[in-house]
Structure 1
Amino acid sequence: MEPSHVLVPLDGSPLADDALEHALDVFDCQITVLNVVTPLDADMSEGGVLEPDEARLNAARTRADQLVERARHQTAAKDRPVETAVETGEPAETILAYIDTTDVDHVVMGGHGGPKTGALRRLLGTVATTVVGKAPVPVTVVR
């Protein structure tokens, strides 16, 4: 069954851009791009040395706005409208919450491998692995 609403999470990586291209090429339906602004806290900063502050959060929001604006231009070049959203939170959980609160029925996202433990995490990346494992809709991972 063809989806009617595809979500493409963007993080500024080339694989996320490839995921958007894939969604535009394959699916003829509503597409929403989502960027998740991750709040900087002591657990995520350089060994807990950096304190969260408004300037860092504003810079992250500005970057998010730039990413979704770039996606608008990318989709306009293909004469395709796109919805955009910027949310704040932990990426995988925020993506899953977005799916649960909207009519999204398919996700297309970039996968990032790395030196994590476990074969699936090395192949897909931790955010993609979590979304694939918990999403109530089909997920296409672009590598």
Structure 2
Amino acid sequence: MYERILVPTDGSTGTAHVAMQAIDLAEQYGGTVSVFHVVDETASSLLEATGSRDQLEEQGRRAVERIERMAQVHGVDVETEIRTGDPATAILEYAEEIDADLIVAGTHGRSGVERRLIGSVAERLVRHADCPVMTVRLPESDETVTDAADARAIAEDALAESEYGDGEITGVERQVSVWVVDVDADGESLVAYIDPVTQRTSLVARH
């Protein structure tokens, strides 16, 4: 159903949530996530004189690479592309070029200037794209694992796929930049470290 899912990104805070929606769908349908960034030609021309165009391109590269790593963590096929132009126009053209089945785009859902700068792109996609468009409101954080229940569920999945098979979760703690989940698996003490953004999970035996 969704063989090719296009995710436009400008690197805004909260984009990880948009990416996870696309990655979840790609996992379900065996699809490919296409991550796309547009270096806004208007912003580029304004900054060219100050030598900041390279900075815009570097920001774009980091934005697509971040989602690329997230997709790889979840075992989803991913491809990336960076172009220069008008964001909405370039996204629509690229969606047609790759024959996208779905566009998953972020929106702030706000009013005033922010809506004109960010919301208008999503609005144009919804109006003019030939394929369905899913809009996801960007939260104030990039964290996709926000509570102990989520961390517990991810740890249980990682445990089920490991050599241990199953076990009992004995503790869940949120530390500065990681979730730490304690596990008792057949008498062996384990700990699962979960990245709160990418959901990358490392299951380690305590010694």
With normalisation by structure 1, the TM-score equals: 0.81
Structure possessing the higher relative contact order (Cα contacts under 8 Å, 6 or more residues apart): 1
1:68 is matched with 64
2:40 is matched with 38
Report percent identity of matched pairs. 33
1:58 is matched with 54
Larger strand proportion, structure 1 or 2?
2
Q: Could you tell me which amino acid in structure 2 is paired with residue 16 of structure 1?
A: T
Number of residue pairs matched?
132
Q: CA deviation at 1:16?
A: 2.6
1:92 is matched with 88
- Tell me the distance in 1 between the aligned counterparts of 2:42 and 2:52: 8
Q: Could you tell me which amino acid in structure 1 is paired with residue 32 of structure 2?
A: Q
1:81 is matched with 77
| 2:7 partner SS | strand
Conserved in 2, the CA contact under 8 Å of 1:36 and 1:88?
A: yes
Conserved in 2, the CA contact under 8 Å of 1:36 and 1:64?
A: yes
Conserved in 2, the CA contact under 8 Å of 1:15 and 1:111?
A: no
Q: Which consecutive segments of 4 or more residues in structure 1 shift more than 4 A?
A: none
1:140 is matched with 134
2:105 is matched with 109
- Tell me the distance in 2 between the aligned counterparts of 1:79 and 1:53: 42
User: Can you list the C-alpha shifts for 1:73-107, whole angstroms capped at 9, x where unaligned?
Assistant: 11121122210010111111110111122221210
Structure 1 unmatched ranges of 5 or more = none
Structure-2 change in CA distance of 1:53 and 1:19 (3 Å): same
- Tell me the distance in 1 between the aligned counterparts of 2:39 and 2:70: 21
Q: Could you tell me which amino acid in structure 2 is paired with residue 135 of structure 1?
A: A
2:168 is matched with none
Q: CA deviation at 1:14?
A: 3.1
Structure 2 unmatched ranges of 5 or more = 138-207
Please say which structure displays the higher CA radius of gyration.
2
Conserved in 2, the CA contact under 8 Å of 1:32 and 1:82?
A: yes
1:17 is matched with 16
Conserved in 2, the CA contact under 8 Å of 1:9 and 1:16?
A: no
User: Can you list the C-alpha shifts for 1:20-41, whole angstroms capped at 9, x where unaligned?
Assistant: 1011112330110001111245
With normalisation by structure 2, the TM-score equals: 0.57
- Tell me the distance in 1 between the aligned counterparts of 2:89 and 2:130: 13
- Tell me the distance in 1 between the aligned counterparts of 2:47 and 2:20: 37
The Cα RMSD (Å) is 2.4
